Amino acid sequence: MHATTLAVADIERSAAFYTALFGIEGSGIIGTEYVATDTAAGGTTAMFTLDDGLIVSVYGRDDMRKDASVALATDPSTTIGHFEESREAADAFLERARAAGATMLEPPYTRPWGMYSGFFQDPDGHLWEVVANPGLGDPAAGA
């Protein structure tokens, strides 16, 4: 099992965004009984388990900073990739992101090597790339 945790400014806002994006029932918010102190992180988070088993979690920026004992970057320095099997499925996922409140970036396009992709940012600026790769799911299609 794998998880990615995103540091966010407002857990409720981010939980609502990801609930709409992933089409999941409920807010996903847990751990509200564990309240932060001046020096210790709280436990409030929202977790979403996707069909492939990946858990996407959102956690307060201040709590993440306290947990990790490190200053957090303010600019997105990584891209979260989401792969779809077709251009139509990628476009549908991008539309769900837009409807959920994502900031849509340049329109999706086909790269010279055949990969179709588009980008959006969630309410906290986390950068997502949605990819439709013609060979996705077909091991014979190449590396």
Quickly state the pLDDT bin for 94 (edges 50, 70, 90): very high
pLDDT tens digits for range 11-20 = 999 999 999 9
Q: Which CATH topology does 79-138 take? A: 2,3-Dihydroxybiphenyl 1,2-Dioxygenase; domain 1 (3.10.180)
Q: At CA 68, angle to CA 64 and CA 74, rounded to 5?
A: 55
d(CA 61, CA 10) in angstroms, rounded, equals 8
What pLDDT was estimated at residue 23?
A: 92
In this predicted model, what pLDDT tens digit does every residue of 45-76 receive, in sequence order?
Answer: 999 999 888 999 999 999 999 988 888 887 77
Q: How far is CA 54 from CA 30, 33, 139, in A?
A: 17, 25, 21
Give the closest residue to 87 by CA, choosing from 40, 130, 31.
Answer: 130
DSSP label of 108: P
Measure the CA–CA gap between 58 and 70, rounded to whole angstroms.
Answer: 17
* Structural element, H or E, at residue 116: strand 116-121
**Amino acid 2: pLDDT:** 86
Sequence ranges of the domains in the chain: 3-68, 79-138
Residue 3 predicted with pLDDT over 60: yes
Mean per-residue pLDDT over the chain, rounded: 88
pLDDT of residue 70: 85
pLDDT of residue 134: 64
Q: What is the pLDDT of residue 141?
A: 43
**Whole-angstrom distance, CA of residue 10 vs CA of residue 124:** 9
Identify the band that residue 136 occupies on the pLDDT scale cut at 50, 70 and 90: low
Domain 3-68 class?
alpha beta
What pLDDT sits at residue 126?
93
